[in-house]
Amino acid sequence: MYLEKLKRLAKGAASRPILQGLCYRDDEILYTNSYVLIIEKNSRKVDEEFVVSLMNGKILSGNYPDLKSIKPSQDKLEKVTDIRFEIKPFKNPYYIANGIYFNKKEMETAFSCIGLKPFDLEVVDKIYVAKEKRMLVYDNQDKGQYVLVLGVRIE
């Protein structure tokens, strides 16, 4: 994971310091700021979970969210078949995947944390949406990478 990119996501979570940290759990490194979830396989398994601040490198106390319950099951995912970029007047730019809107900056930052762009050729065939929960999911089990981004409502 690219720590400088993760710091960009973590800055917005100042009101919940535990969300400004990377969680080391079993054989995974996890990050969430409540809008983005990133999971990457760790080559070293840890015996006891701990959270390290992205801001200062200190161990954080508190309970990191149970992120496994957030991930939609495979049967709730549908392959992304329609991807567009849109700019609306007086609004942030968005990606639209299968009719669901996603904040462009947030999505690009989330993918850059694992060294990718949202719609690189190596990424596209592993992107899904969970329509009921308005989520975009990138799941590359071969590389041990998982990214989830919550959609936004456009009125």
The tens digit of pLDDT for each residue in 48-88 reads: 999 999 999 999 999 999 887 889 999 999 999 888 888 87
Q: Which domain holds residue 28?
A: 3-69
Give the residue-averaged pLDDT of 19-43: 92
- In the numeric block, the tokens 């080559």 are attached to 43
Identify whether 104 is part of a domain.
yes
| Whether the Cβ atoms of residue 54 and residue 2 lie closer than 8 Å to each other | no
Residues facing residue 48 across a β-bridge: none
For residue 89, the model assigns a pLDDT of: 77
Please choose, from the candidates 37, 54, 45, the residue with its C-alpha nearest in 3D space to the C-alpha of residue 2.
54
Element (H, E) at 104: helix 104-112
**Which own/partner contact pairs does 21-24 have at CB distance under 8 Å and 24+ positions apart?**
21/51, 21/52, 21/53, 21/54, 21/60, 21/64, 22/51, 22/52, 22/54, 23/49, 23/50, 23/51, 23/64, 24/49, 24/50, 24/51, 24/52
Shared domain for 40 and 80, answered yes or no, is no
Give the residue-averaged pLDDT of 134-149: 93
Identify whether 118 is part of a domain.
yes
pLDDT in tens, 85-126: 888 777 789 999 999 999 998 999 999 999 988 777 667 788
Shared domain for 56 and 84, answered yes or no, is no
Residue 42, Ramachandran bin (φ over 0: left; ψ between -120 and 50: alpha; else beta) = beta
For residue 7, the model assigns a pLDDT of: 87
Shared domain for 81 and 99, answered yes or no, is yes
pLDDT at residue 10 above 90?
no
Domain end among 69, 98, 114: 69
For residue 70, the model assigns a pLDDT of: 87
Structure tokens at 87: 């700019």
